[in-house]
Amino acid sequence: MKNSKKNEKNSTWVMYLTLSCALSTLSIVMKNPLYAVGAIFFGICAILTTLKKNHK
Closest CA to 50 of 2, 10, 4: 10
- Based on C-alpha coordinates, what's the Rg of the chain? 13
Task: Find the Cα–Cα–Cα–Cα dihedral 32, 34, 35, 40, rounded to 10°.
Answer: 130
At residue 7, what is the residue type? N
Express as a percent the part of the chain with pLDDT over 90.
57
Contact present, 11 and 30 (Cβ < 8 Å): no
pTM over 0.95: no
pLDDT given for residue 56 in this prediction: 59
Whether 9 shows a pLDDT value over 80: the answer reads no
Tens-place pLDDT, residues 18-37: 999 999 999 999 999 999 99
pLDDT given for residue 30 in this prediction: 93
